[in-house]
């Protein structure tokens, strides 16, 4: 079955500590992978996409096709990183669609 | 640009009542989507549209209908609301990449709907 899994509902880390938000997917083919973020009282917005190989706000995400994972990482967490993070593969099923994971709430503690 | 706007922001319905949620975008996007967000479930796609006059079912379409009569608007209707439809509803839009689907999605602020 096609699915995307974010195993942690809540992840708490201290400011300055490294953070890794896990995402595993099981889709045939090669989906495009994205991370979306929702800060408190703000709308959901794109954080980064794997095809761009970019670093946004210090976050990076490496696509591991062998493990079918797309974990989001940041070496030094900041309090302003506290938010809800969604992994979202874009898959083809009749047409292209995003499939959102259940999300991980990141809390960065002072 | 206002981006993606949603009307209303909040609504309380009684079981069996009907309502329409309006999504509007001013970015000339071809694709538009309706999602619902429930605790522990993430965002689930209800219906989507790849262009004016076209709509398609998503992951959880039952109990909802949609229309895209104008490119900039995407309406979500609940004909007979049920408590299970209590949720936060998000609209999104994106550009088309032709045969490669869509670009990133731009989201509205959400509509919080409670059905009692």
- In angstroms, the CA B27 to CA A95 distance is 22
Tokens 């079918």 belong to A68
Interchain pair B110, A101: CB under 8 A: no
Say how many CB pairs under 8 Å bridge A and B.
Answer: 48
Any alpha helices (H) in chain A, and if so which ranges?
none
A66 shares contact with chain B (CB less than 8 Å): no
In the DSSP assignment, the letter for residue B102 is: B
Instruction: State how far the Cα of B49 lies from the Cα of A36, in Å rounded to an integer.
Output: 21
Q: B107 vs A97: CB contact, 8 Å cut-off?
A: no
- Other CB atoms within a 10 A radius of the CB of residue B9 amount to 11
Q: Output the tens digit of pLDDT for each of chain B's 116 residues.
A: 789 999 999 999 999 999 999 999 999 999 999 999 998 888 999 999 989 999 999 989 999 999 999 999 999 999 999 999 999 999 999 987 766 656 789 999 999 999 99
Closest CA to B94 of B22, B41, B23, B10: B23
Instruction: Please report the beta strands in A1-110, taking only residues with DSSP state E, as ranges in sequence order.
Output: 3-5, 10-14, 19-21, 24-26, 32-38, 45-49, 60-64, 69-74, 83-93, 95-98, 104-109
Which token pair is A10?
Answer: 């809540």
Q: Are A97 and B48 an interchain contact pair (Cβ–Cβ within 8 Å)?
A: yes
For position A23, what pLDDT does the model report? Answer: 94
Q: Give me the pLDDT at residue A19, please.
A: 97
Chain B residues touching A103 at Cβ < 8 A: 42
| Confidence class for position A54, pLDDT limits 50, 70, 90 | confident
The rounded Cα A64 to chain-centroid distance in angstroms is 13
pLDDT of residue A90: 85
Helix (H, G, I), strand (E, B) or coil at B1: coil
Contact list in B for residue A92 (CB cut-off 8 A) is 101
């Amino acid at each position: 079955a096609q699915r995307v899994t974010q195993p942690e509902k809540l992840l708490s880390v201290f400011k300055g500590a490294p953070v890794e938000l896990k995402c595993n997917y099981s889709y045939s083919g090669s989906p495009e992978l994205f991370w979306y973020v929702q800060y408190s009282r703000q709308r959901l917005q794109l954080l980064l996409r794997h095809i761009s190989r970019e670093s946004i706000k210090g976050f990076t995400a490496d696509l591991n096709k062998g493990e079918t994972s797309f974990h989001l990482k940041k070496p030094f967490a900041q309090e302003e990183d506290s938010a809800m993070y969604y992994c979202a593969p874009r898959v083809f099923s009749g047409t292209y669609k995003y499939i959102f994971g259940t999300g991980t709430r990141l809390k960065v503690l002072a | 640009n206002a981006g993606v706007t949603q009307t209303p922001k909040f609504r309380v319905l009684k079981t069996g009542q009907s309502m329409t949620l309006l999504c509007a975008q001013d970015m000339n996007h071809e694709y538009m989507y309706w999602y619902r967000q429930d605790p522990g479930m993430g965002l689930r796609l209800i219906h989507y549209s790849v262009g004016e006059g076209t709509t398609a079912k998503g992951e959880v379409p039952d109990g909802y209908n949609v229309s895209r009569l104008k490119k900039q608007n995407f309406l979500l209707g609940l004909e007979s609301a049920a408590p299970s439809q209590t949720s936060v509803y998000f609209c999104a839009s994106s550009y088309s990449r032709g045969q490669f689907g869509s670009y990133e999605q731009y989201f509205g602020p959400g509509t919080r709907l409670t059905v009692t």
